[in-house]
Amino acid sequence: MYVGPAASVQFGAGNGFCFRVIRAHDWSTYDGWALIDGYQLNANGEAVARRSIFVRPAGLRRVTPANGGQPGQRAPLRSARRTGTGTQRGSG
Domain count, the chain: 1
In a domain, 74, yes or no: no
Residue 73's pLDDT band (boundaries 50, 70, 90)?
Answer: very low
The pLDDT, as a whole number, for residue 65 is 59
Q: How many CB atoms lie within 10 A of CB 2?
A: 21
Q: For residue 34, give its domain range.
A: 2-67
Of 48 and 82, more confident: 48
Sequence length of the chain is: 92
Give a yes or no: residue 29 inside a domain. Answer: yes
Q: What is the pLDDT of residues 10-28, one digit of tens each?
A: 888 778 999 999 999 988 8
82 belongs to a structural domain: no
